[in-house]
C-alpha cells in the first residue's frame, strides 16, 4: 500500500538514525547465523536471548507489511523493501543513484546470506536486484513506480559473492510501456544482463 503521512524531514532523519544501525546489527546476525561454528550450549543461549528480544519488540508493531510511506513533500520511505529497505535486514541494501540521463547505478556487496552455487550469488537474488533497479530506471519522473510486466535475465557467467555493481537505463517508451535494460557486474565485467517491460499504472 502507499500511505501518506504527515512526517517532517527531521522526523524522517531521526528515525533513520536509530533504525539504520539496528537493521545493520540484525543483518550482521543473519551473516553470523550462517557462518558461526560455536558449540550447542552457546547457540542455545543465543537463541534464548534472540527470542526474548523478539518477544519484546512484538509488543508494539504494525499490522501487515510496511508498504511505501510518503510524507507531505512526496518523500518516499520503502523501508521494508527486500532490495533497498532501510529496515529490512535481508536487503543488501542497494543505494541507487541516478545521473542526469536517468541512468541508475548501485555499488553493493552480497555475502553469505545470498549464496547459491558455492561462492556465488543465487540466480534469484540477481534477478531480484535487476528487477528493482530496472524498475527504478523505468520510473524516472513518476511519483509512483511503474510495475513490472516482464523481465528477462541472461546469466553470462556465475556472479561471485562480494563487491558488485548494477546499472539500468530506459531503452524506449511505447505508451504505458517502458522498456528498460541493465546488468550486474563484478571487477571482471558483466555477469548478468536483463531487459524488462514496465507498465505505468492507471
Q: Give the tens place of pLDDT for each residue, 72-126.
A: 666 778 899 999 999 999 999 999 999 999 999 999 999 999 999 999 999 999 9
Cell numbers describing residue 10 = 527531521
Cα first-last separation, the chain: 15
Q: Is 0.85 surpassed by the pTM of this model?
A: yes
Residue 11 has a pLDDT of 83
The C-alpha atoms of residue 50 and residue 79 are separated, in whole angstroms, by 22
- Beta-bridge partners for 121: 115
pLDDT tens, residue by residue, 23-55: 999 999 999 999 999 999 999 999 999 999 999
- Give the Cα separation of 195 and 134 in Å (integer): 8
Mean pLDDT, residues 184-189: 98
List Cα–Cα distances, 147 to 26, 89, 166, 199, in angstroms.
Answer: 30, 24, 19, 5
Task: Report yes or no: 173 and 102 within 8 Å, Cβ to Cβ.
Answer: no
pLDDT of residue 2: 62
φ, ψ of residue 52 in degrees (nearest 5): -65, -45
Amino acid at each position: 500500500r502507499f500511505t501518506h503521512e504527515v512526517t517532517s524531514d527531521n522526523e524522517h532523519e531521526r528515525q533513520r538514525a536509530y533504525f539504520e544501525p539496528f537493521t545493520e546489527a540484525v543483518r550482521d546476525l543473519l551473516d553470523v547465523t550462517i557462518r558461526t561454528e560455536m558449540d550447542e550450549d552457546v547457540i542455545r543461549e543465543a537463541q534464548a536471548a534472540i527470542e526474548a528480544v523478539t518477544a519484546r519488540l512484538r509488543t508494539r508493531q504494525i499490522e501487515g507489511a510496511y508498504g511505501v510511506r510518503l510524507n507531505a513533500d512526496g518523500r518516499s520511505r520503502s523501508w521494508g523493501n527486500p532490495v533497498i529497505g532501510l529496515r529490512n535486514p535481508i536487503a543488501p541494501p542497494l543505494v541507487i543513484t541516478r545521473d542526469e540521463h536517468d541512468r541508475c547505478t548501485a555499488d553493493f556487496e552480497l555475502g553469505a546470506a545470498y549464496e547459491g552455487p558455492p561462492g556465488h550469488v543465487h540466480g534469484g537474488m540477481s534477478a531480484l536486484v535487476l528487477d528493482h533497479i530496472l524498475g527504478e530506471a523505468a520510473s524516472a519522473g513518476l511519483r509512483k513506480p511503474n510495475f513490472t510486466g516482464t523481465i528477462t535475465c541472461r546469466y553470462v557467467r556465475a556472479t561471485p559473492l562480494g563487491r558488485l555493481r548494477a546499472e539500468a537505463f530506459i531503452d524506449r517508451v511505447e505508451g504505458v510501456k517502458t522498456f528498460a535494460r541493465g546488468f550486474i557486474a563484478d571487477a571482471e565485467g558483466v555477469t548478468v544482463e536483463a531487459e524488462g517491460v514496465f507498465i505505468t499504472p492507471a
